Amino acid sequence: MDSALQTHVEALAAAIEADRSAFDAIRPPADPSSLDALLDRQRTVRGRNSFLPFMGTGRGWGPFVENLDGSVKLDMVTGIGVHAFGHGDPELLRVAIEAAAGDTLMQGNLQCNQEAVEFVETLLGEARTGDSALEHVFPCCSGAVANETALKICMQKRGGAPRVLAFEHCFAGRTTTMSQIGDSAGAREGIALNLPVDYLPWHDATDPAGSLDRTLAALREAIRRWPGQHACIVLEPVQGEGGFAPAPVEFLRPVLETARASDIPIWFDEVQTFGRTQTMFRQTWTGLESLVDVVTVGKLSQVCAAIYTADMNPRPGLLSGTFIGSTAGFRVGRRIIERLRDGGYYGTQGKIESFHGHFLELAGELMREHPAAFPQVEGRGGPIELAGGCGGMMRLTPFGGDKARIIELVRGCFDAGVILFFCGHGPVHLRMLPPVGVLEKGHLDTAMRVIGDCIGAMEAAS
């Protein structure tokens, strides 16, 4: 970049930083009614209320973000995992401003600039670990489209095989096809079903041996019943919408080896796990890289993508796209991957594992303070862990996993200054996807204190 232009970039970034760096704590609304008119307008155009009364001003700093009513919230769900470095990160701000000085906002499959290639090369460099044979990348604008891309690649490889093997409680996106793969009846209500999906039981931590037996039996039966008809087996190595439920290698290896023995392509959906667990790619943690044919990523990467082996490389014509990502998305996404790679986030002694350990400690304290709010919840083989997840995917299960009570808690925490969400299909869990790139243990302390105060208020009111 020209030195004179760079000077202006630095000045603009510094001015924005000075404006936003005061956002360093939760604040109540300055004018609670100032948001009402805009939320009414949003309700009119969308046809329903927003889940939370939030409309960002575009100003924030680290894990803190300003709402249009003047309040400042501690953002512990980050757009469902998108904002890994929170709000207003100084370096990413500079990168985005530099990208805005480029000649185009959006880049495409027919015409792209060097930013697209540099992003893909950086992403692929992190995907090629261990015995991985991943070789090629197709970038795109959403996780659902990345998953559509993966399915197309698998179907072509299998000569148009029409069926998919997936797991109970999975989520794959909200396109017509991905809604059929995801195990959510509400997400496919009224959709014409044209993709047959055979669901397998997911790992049950309360009954590991029985869980594996049931899954292998269901898999073998599906293969027996529909020989040569499965395009792929797709799995989230840590289920997201399904309840932040990880599967151990002892479960995954025999399941995937059974699929591979029937030449069924293996697809890891890492749209939510990417960057958030003990390794940048969860496939690396499993040590099963040699079995993986396709991986999809998204959310914190800013630009989504399908990554696949040379053997899965589709013929010309199958993949294209007017848009593959924005110039800022490519630039910022690449820098996010580099900072996570180089910043001490991964491994058993990494920041992400440390954050999760601290969360579990705080959760234990919270459960001791409010024992009545944390009744035992039974799984098939015994009680489930009431605090869990994996790395930067954190879940807590109060009120026996009752959805209505947990939604009430989410809304109460929002009013008190902490943005959270929920996951799971029964039990339902309180969900956190904190901004791991800027997170400090003190932020977790604050979030859990607010959760405890809100639980206490709900107990007092009941």
Query: Which of residues 342, 367, 388 is at a domain's end?
Result: 342
pLDDT for the residue numbered 34: 86
Q: Are residues 60 and 133 in the same domain?
A: no
SS3 (DSSP) at 30: coil
**Residue given tokens 């696949």 in the structure block:** 308
pLDDT for the residue numbered 1: 67
The whole-number average pLDDT for the span 107-117 is: 96
Instruction: Tally DSSP H helices, then E strands, for the chain.
Output: 14, 19
Strands 197-200 and 163-167: parallel
Q: Which domain holds residue 255?
A: 106-342
The whole-number average pLDDT for the span 421-447 is: 97
pLDDT for the residue numbered 456: 98
CATH number of residue 196's parent domain:
3.40.640.10
- Cα(233)–Cα(212) distance, integer angstroms: 16
Rounded to the nearest integer, the mean pLDDT of the chain is: 96
The beta strands (E) that lie in 156-265 are given as 163-167, 197-200, 230-235, 238-239, 245-246
Q: Are residues 186 and 142 in the same domain?
A: yes
Tell me the β-bridge partners of 269.
296
Between residues 138 and 4, the one the model is more confident about: 138
Q: Are residues 238 and 126 in the same domain?
A: yes
| Full-model pTM | 0.96
Q: Are residues 259 and 362 in the same domain?
A: no
Q: Where are the alpha helices (DSSP H) in 269-326?
A: 282-286
User: Is residue 433 domain-resident?
Assistant: yes
Q: What tens digit of pLDDT does each residue of 304-340 get?
A: 999 999 999 999 999 999 999 999 999 999 999 999 9
Query: Which of residues 320, 342, 364 is at a domain's end?
Result: 342
Residue 19 pLDDT class (50, 70, 90 cuts): confident
- pLDDT at 9 > cutoff 90: no
Q: Are residues 176 and 322 in the same domain?
A: yes
pLDDT for the residue numbered 20: 79
The whole-number average pLDDT for the span 419-433 is: 97
User: Is residue 99 domain-resident?
Assistant: no
Q: What tens digit of pLDDT does each residue of 205-257 get?
A: 999 999 999 999 999 999 999 999 999 999 999 999 999 999 999 999 999 99
Residue 11 pLDDT class (50, 70, 90 cuts): confident
Q: Are residues 444 and 407 in the same domain?
A: yes
CATH number of residue 357's parent domain:
3.90.1150.10
**What is the number of structural domains in the chain?**
2
Q: Are residues 152 and 292 in the same domain?
A: yes
Query: Which of residues 286, 310, 342 is at a domain's end?
Result: 342
The whole-number average pLDDT for the span 13-35 is: 87
Q: Are residues 240 and 262 in the same domain?
A: yes
Q: Are residues 405 and 284 in the same domain?
A: no
